[in-house]
Structure 1
Amino acid sequence: MRADFQTFLINLDRSEDRLRTMRQRLERAGLPWQRVAAVDGKTLDLRNLREVDERGFRRRHGKRLNPAEVGCYLSHIKALKAFLDGPWTWALILEDDADFPDDFGTLIEQLLERSDQWDVLKLSSFHGGSPVPVAELPGSRRLAVPLARLMNANCILFNRHAARVLLKRLLPMTLPYDHALEQAFVFGLRLRTITPIPCPAETGLPSTIGDRAQLRPFKLRWYKRLPAMGFRMSMETRRVVFGLKQVLSAGKSARPD
């Protein structure tokens, strides 16, 4: 793997079993990597965190703050800072439940060769994302512009420009990290994905944030979620408009003179 690329693995100190599993997966993929000690939400005083806008979170997400989500968010911020503190041009930031296809190392090389076509590249997702292909990749894969939400943040590629922009724009926290990152297009960043999606969102490891039943108590009453619904509708409209512009732009650049 090239010297200007690095992998950052976010891992809680108390999750030694996940670290062992991820070490095996990363070695199998042949990726250089370093661990980023995750921020443990259980240790945070949410009332006195400058990095978090609690009122903005309720307004945009329709839920109360979940300490585990805050810890996850700040862990990703920490990983982006670790990337920029080093000499690398690109970074793969992983959560410790990520997994990869057998040819993942080769795929990363292919994506870096096409790094002029993306700023943020999501390699896993919970949702389909309505991807529109804009470039062919070897092995029947295609680089695509998502016109809908992807969600999930366990396996994402960044360039340095994207990391700088995101560090400026993602604080204070007003959404869970995977939701906030979906706004990359609002920040002028080229958010891309791969179709078919190469990395699974569910890899057999339980979430350290919680399942739906555990997260339900954080949800506000329906009428208090109306601002969040309006925000999401606005964002989805803007995503489609921006995405279509990106698709048209990619199509024009691909045409011969």
Structure 2
Amino acid sequence: MESSVERRRRLTEAACAANIDLVLVSAVTGADVGRMSLGFDRRRRRREFASDLLPTELACLESHLRCLRIFLESSCSHCLVVEDDACFGAEMPLVVRSLVQSVAGWDFIKLWTPGANWPLGRIYCAGGERQVVYPKNLSRDALAILYSREGARSVLKHMERYWMAFDTQLGYICCRYGVVGIGVAPSVCSPMADAPSSIDAGGRRAMSVRPSWRQRLFHRWQRVVNSWRKRRLFRVVRRGVRLLDADGSR
């Protein structure tokens, strides 16, 4: 966002140091969402959750979708969307290039994968090996995501209607519609330690409203179903994602 001057300065400096062609996209603000026609499904949100999304959460989601639309209007084959609190080193473009050349069968790749992962295979890049993984918590965070054109189209198609924050909705469409998201470990970037995100008000909004008993029961059931779906999708992803040799063969 334009108001995050220090974050933008650091992001620009990191991109210059890594020789990355950075395009700064004007973010949607919380004030903007009140004047926009949104795909927000308020009825489903209120049925499943005790509180609405914050304006900042809606703005964050719409900002991600705006980046994907701009990408699809370009002639680029791939696009890396990073949030303004992303911190990365000079190896970033080398890792991205290796992922594009060495891994096939994916729609998007998360370059920050906190938490536990299921391994898919290893590639050699940026002077060492990295593990291609399936994140067990695919719906956690959207700090830096590499998209293929087909992946961007799929995300936009399945997010015409949404009722959760962007990272959670992204995990949902993977489980529900088979959009293939994977990750890489160790992570290529991380959030700025001294500039934490305030999009969800530090989690205080979620803790301030007590869900109804129906919503609590629904989420317990949903966790069980999602655990089964993630394991099923991992098996599908493991069969579909291919690690390629230097000449493009498997």
Alignment correspondent of 2:122 = 135
Classify the secondary structure of the residue corresponding to 1:234. helix
Classify the secondary structure of the residue corresponding to 2:58. helix
The 1-side partners of 2:31 and 2:89 are apart by 33
Match of 2:67 among 76, 79, 99: 79
Match of 1:70 among 36, 40, 58: 58
CA contact (8 A) 1:60 1:174 kept: no
Classify the secondary structure of the residue corresponding to 1:175. coil
Alignment correspondent of 2:146 = 157
The offset of 1:249, in angstroms, is 5.2
Note if 1:13 corresponds to 2:2.
Answer: yes
Alignment correspondent of 1:206 = 196
The 1-side partners of 2:99 and 2:161 are apart by 31
CA contact (8 A) 2:40 2:162 kept: yes
Classify the secondary structure of the residue corresponding to 2:104. helix
The offset of 1:197, in angstroms, is 2.0
Note if 1:106 corresponds to 2:94.
Answer: yes
Match of 2:223 among 221, 228, 232: 232
The 2-side partners of 1:62 and 1:109 are apart by 43
The offset of 1:187, in angstroms, is 2.5
CA contact (8 A) 1:155 1:199 kept: yes
**RMSD value, Cα:** 2.8
Taking structure 1 as the reference length, the TM-score comes to 0.83
Note if 1:195 corresponds to 2:182.
Answer: no
The offset of 1:99, in angstroms, is 1.0
Q: 1:252 to 1:67 in 2, by over 3 A?
A: closer
Q: 1:201 to 1:239 in 2, by over 3 A?
A: farther
Taking structure 2 as the reference length, the TM-score comes to 0.85
| Structure 1 alignment gaps of length 5 or more | 1-11
Amino acid at match of 1:195: A
The offset of 1:60, in angstroms, is 4.4
Q: How many residues align?
A: 243
Q: 1:78 to 1:219 in 2, by over 3 A?
A: farther
Match of 2:82 among 71, 94, 103: 94
Note if 1:37 corresponds to 2:37.
Answer: no
Q: 1:116 to 1:249 in 2, by over 3 A?
A: closer
